[in-house]
Amino acid sequence: MKLWHCSGARSLRPLWALEEMALEYEVEILPFPPRMFEREYLKVNSLGTVPYFVDGDTEMTESTGICQYLVDRYQRYDFGLQPSHPEYGAYLNWLHHSDATLTFPQTIAMRYYFLEPTPEKQAVADDYSKWYISRLRRLDRHLESHEYLVDNRFTIADIAIGYALYLGRALKLDGQYKPQTAAYLQRLMDRPGFKRADEQGEPLSLPGAE
């Protein structure tokens, strides 16, 4: 298995999953964003995005999908749920919620705050930042009475959602997190698997984020 990764990018999800599962893998660290600073990478992944993941003949580009693949392909249900589990629907919903609902508005904000900043785009970024925070309502409510998202244990659903919260922290939006949500993120960041994944590569540096 090989994973192409940029520190702090969505590729942190599968890297974190690989570390938690103690699977053997190779990682190639790229500058962010790779399509701008590592043009040769386009020959590997024509999208120029990370993650890019190969496992034999399998090629994948979606961070949460790779996490689910690892659970199912390698039968690592100690980090996931099987379809027969009563919370399987909730598990899938959190996995897809992580990108479709949470990471999407963050990427727009990141692009217009840091990568293509103009006064006009700043207003758009402000709107998407507010949208992201408002979309945490369901998670905030769930964490009032749960330590983890499903089955009272850590799963890749927590990796998927946890990364979105972590990216929000990089975007300096975490000051608006509810106490239970901030505590949940810290709990995830305290895991050795997260620390091993997060320390690979130079820290994500966004222009103007200091």
Looking at the fold, whether 108 and 185 belong to one and the same domain comes out as: yes
CA distance readout (Å), 45 to 5, 54, 136: 12, 11, 32
Q: CA–CA separation, 46 vs 44, rounded Å?
A: 6
Does residue 197 lie within any of the structural domains? no
Please indicate, yes or no, whether the overall pTM of this predicted structure exceeds 0.95: no
Q: Which domain holds residue 135?
A: 88-191
In this model, does residue 194 exceed pLDDT 70? Answer: yes
Does residue 175 lie within any of the structural domains? yes
Does residue 67 lie within any of the structural domains? yes
Please check whether residue 157 is in contact with residue 89, taking contact to mean a CB–CB distance below 8 angstroms.
Answer: no
Structure-token pair, residue 138: 């369901």
Q: What angle do CA 20, 24, 29 make, to 5 degrees?
A: 85
CATH code for position 71: 3.40.30.10
| Digit-coded pLDDT (tens) for 140-156 | 999 999 999 999 999 99
Would you state the pLDDT for residue 38? 77
Structurally, how many domains does the chain consist of? 2
Would you state the pLDDT for residue 205? 60
Looking at the fold, whether 101 and 176 belong to one and the same domain comes out as: yes
Looking at the fold, whether 124 and 141 belong to one and the same domain comes out as: yes
Does residue 196 lie within any of the structural domains? no
Pick the closest to residue 22 from 152, 200, 147, 197 (CA basis): 197
Residue 210's pLDDT band, with cuts at 50, 70 and 90, is: very low
| Digit-coded pLDDT (tens) for 97-134 | 999 999 999 988 988 887 777 887 888 889 999 999 99
Looking at the fold, whether 70 and 92 belong to one and the same domain comes out as: no
Q: Return mean pLDDT, the chain.
A: 92
Domain boundary among the residues 60, 79, 98 is at 79
Q: Counting beta carbons within 10 angstroms of the beta carbon of residue 44, is it exposed (0 to 12), middle (13 to 18) or buried (19 or more)?
A: middle
SS3 198: helix
Does residue 29 lie within any of the structural domains? yes
Please check whether residue 156 is in contact with residue 191, taking contact to mean a CB–CB distance below 8 angstroms.
Answer: no
Looking at the fold, whether 99 and 75 belong to one and the same domain comes out as: no
Beta-bridge mates of residue 27: 3
Q: Counting beta carbons within 10 angstroms of the beta carbon of residue 8, is it exposed (0 to 12), middle (13 to 18) or buried (19 or more)?
A: buried
Looking at the fold, whether 105 and 61 belong to one and the same domain comes out as: no
Domain boundary among the residues 52, 79, 106 is at 79
